[in-house]
Amino acid sequence: MIELRHLSKTFLTKEGSFEALRDISLTVEDGDIHGIIGVSGAGKSTLVRCVNLLEKPTSGSVLIDGEDVTNYSGRRLLNLRGKIGMIFQDFSLFAQRNALANVIFPLQLRRDSRKDAAKRGMELLELVGLAHKAKSYPAQLSGGQQQRVAIARALANHPSYLLCDEATSALDSLTTDAILQLLKTINHELGVTILVITHEMKVIETICNKVAVLDGAQIVERGKTADVFAQPEQQITQRLLGQAMAEAAAQAAAESATAVSASTTLTDQLAYLEVKSDV
Ligand SMILES: Nc1ncnc2c1ncn2[C@@H]1O[C@H](COP(=O)(O)OP(=O)(O)OP(=O)(O)O)[C@@H](O)[C@H]1O
Ligand SMILES: [Mg+2]
């Protein structure tokens, strides 16, 4: 279980201080796929970076499996991060390492034997459907494939938790769906608890059982996804939902336009053939 208790984060900059998170309390239960949604600048990345202590909270605490880890450092922090995998929008793969070498990087840090690491690496590539691309470098992989490699790498240490910061934002709609299904499988079959950060309601709707809405550094609404979708209380939630519905309608319209143009092409072809046979 991940618990954030009265967590705040203030950045000190040359221009002064900036409060990115204010009094955040949140529980992510084991087995959840929990979403955090908000517009750009709401504080989502800062929040997720506080969970694995890439950012140190200014006040409040982070508890993992009931243990206060807020002040962990050194070896204890490294061990903690082994429990928490993370994936990013830009995949963050090492360009000079092939897919397998990327996946086994955390195992090499842990000084696993080369043979064990390679075996585990291939199992993970198998899990994400990319065993056949083990020798490919990131530049030779599509965005969706790169994100699969990043997911495999994030799972290398058998983490209990996976944090996803806009993991599908750089991907097209079909590839997004495939990656979301993969995350669902990882949750169901490996029992990994997932925290998903996104600005897209579609992502929340597709995989999250619970959601919290972050706005202006605070959680303004939260609950089971079905409840929040059925009765969004806050204006920002209604706006995000409205936007998602408009996007879905636009996509449906684009798909039917494609169908029309496809059938137009077919009609044209038939007409062409008829003319031809008349000649
Ligand atoms: N290291 C930092 N120093 C100063 N301000 C920061 C720092 N990191 C983030 N911020 C500020 O905190 C606010 C929240 O940033 P954050 O990256 O968490 O937003 P976000 O919700 O992830 O946005 P996006 O959807 O664009 O990724 C922003 O106004 C940002 O400028
Ligand atoms: Mg962000």
Question: For residue range 202-224, what is the model confidence (pLDDT) as tens digits?
Answer: 999 999 999 999 999 999 999 99
Digit-coded pLDDT (tens) for 31-54: 999 999 999 999 999 999 999 999
What does 124-191 look like in DSSP terms, one character per residue? HHHHTT-GGGTT--GGGS-HHHHHHHHHHHHTTT--SEEEEESTTTTS-HHHHHHHHHHHHHHHHHH-
pTM score: 0.88
* 152 Cβ contact list (under 8 Å, min separation 6): 99, 103, 121, 124, 125, 127, 128, 130
Identify the residue whose C-alpha is closest to ligand 1 atom 30: 41
Distances in whole angstroms, Cα of residue 196 to Cα of each of 80, 145, 201, 210: 19, 19, 11, 10
| 127 alpha carbon – ligand 2 mean position (Å) | 27
In this prediction, residue 259 has a pLDDT band, given cuts at 50, 70 and 90, of low
Q: State if residue 17 touches ligand 1 by the CB under 6 angstroms criterion.
A: no
111-160 pLDDT per residue, tens:
888 999 999 999 999 999 999 999 999 999 999 999 999 999 999 999 99
Index of the ligand 1 atom closest to the CA of residue 18: 5
CA of 256 to the centre of ligand 2 (A): 33
Dihedral of the alpha carbons of 251, 254, 256, 258, in degrees to the nearest 10: -140
Rounded Cα distance between 198 and 65, Å, is: 24
> 250 CA distance to ligand 1 centroid (A)?
30
Q: What pLDDT shows up at residue 279?
A: 45
Residue 91 corresponds to which tokens in the numbers above? 């995949």
Q: Does residue 46 line the site of ligand 1, with CB under 6 A? A: yes
- The residue-averaged pLDDT of 97-114 equals 92
Q: Find the radius of gyration of the CA atoms of the chain.
A: 22
pLDDT, residue 271, reads 62
**Mean pLDDT over residues 162-169, rounded?**
94
pLDDT value at residue 260: 56
Q: Is 198 in the pocket of ligand 1 (CB under 6 A)?
A: no
Q: Which of 7, 17, 18, 164 to mutate to test the pocket of ligand 1 (most atoms within 8 A of CB)?
A: 18
pLDDT digits (tens, 9 = 90+) for 173-194: 899 999 999 999 999 999 999 9
Which ligand has the nearest atom to the CA of 49? 1
Ligand 1 midpoint to CA 129 (Å):
34
Q: Which residues contact 42 (CB under 8 A, 6 or more apart)?
A: 214, 215, 216, 217
